[in-house]
Amino acid sequence: MASKGDGTVRVLGEGRFLRLVERDTWEHVERIRVSGVVCMVAVTPGSELLLVEQYRPALRRAIMEIPAGLVGDLPGSEHEAFETAATRELEEETGYTASHMRFLSEGPTSSGICSETIRFYRAEGVRRIGDGGGDHSEDITVHVVPLAGIHHWLENQTARGVLIDPKVYAALYFVGQGAPE
């Protein structure tokens, strides 16, 4: 489908990390000062999926997510490779590293409101090297969840008031766990 309108763009507001724009008649958000976003599907040798839980101010709730992060957001890293950022973010958030990142897919995070896309990577050769928990601006709880019974575990998280990011279910698809029966 071809684009509509003449492409006129008007900046409505800008913060440190986001810009609100109007393109033709559609308002949306653009992420600025980064070159992309990555998320990692990481399974330990013991068949456990690495998940992270953190409070997200926009939703005012704890969210269960797969590890993810920004690419090229650090000073001097404007040309950072996506795979490098994926490894860095996995280590920072979970305390695990990977010997290799394999690209899986790319798609929009919320196409009705944001221009951002996210690249999924499968972390291969996963091993623990530290505690994780994020950087100085994050308060991340790492969960190492056995794939056997993970759907029940996620239901329990929902029951305690945690929202489950849909990318968790995408990760389960990528590791052959699909929907619960």
The answer to whether residues 98 and 41 touch, using CB atoms and an 8 Å cutoff, is no
Q: What is the pLDDT of residue 7?
A: 77
Distance CA 161, CA 47 (A): 26
Please state, for a pLDDT cut of 90, what percent of the chain lies above it: 76
Q: How far apart are CA 103 and CA 90, in angstroms?
A: 14
What is the rounded CA–CA span in Å between residue 70 and residue 135?
A: 13
What domains can be seen in the chain, in order of their start residue?
1-32 (no CATH), 35-174 (3.90.79.10)
What does the pLDDT read at residue 3?
60
Higher pLDDT pick, 16 / 104:
104
**Cα–Cα nearest to 49, from 173, 181, 171, 164:** 171
Instruction: Check if the beta carbon of residue 96 is closer than 8 Å to that of residue 132.
Output: yes
Amino acid at 162: V
Percent share of the chain, pLDDT over 70:
97
pLDDT digits (tens, 9 = 90+) for 87-115: 999 999 999 999 999 999 999 999 999 99
pLDDT confidence of 181, banded at 50, 70, 90? low
Over residues 47-61, the pLDDT tens digits come to 999 999 999 999 999
Tell me what the pLDDT averaged over the chain comes to: 92
pLDDT digits (tens, 9 = 90+) for 115-172: 999 999 999 999 999 989 888 888 899 999 999 999 999 999 999 999 999 999 999 9
pTM: 0.90
The whole-number pLDDT of residue 138 equals: 82
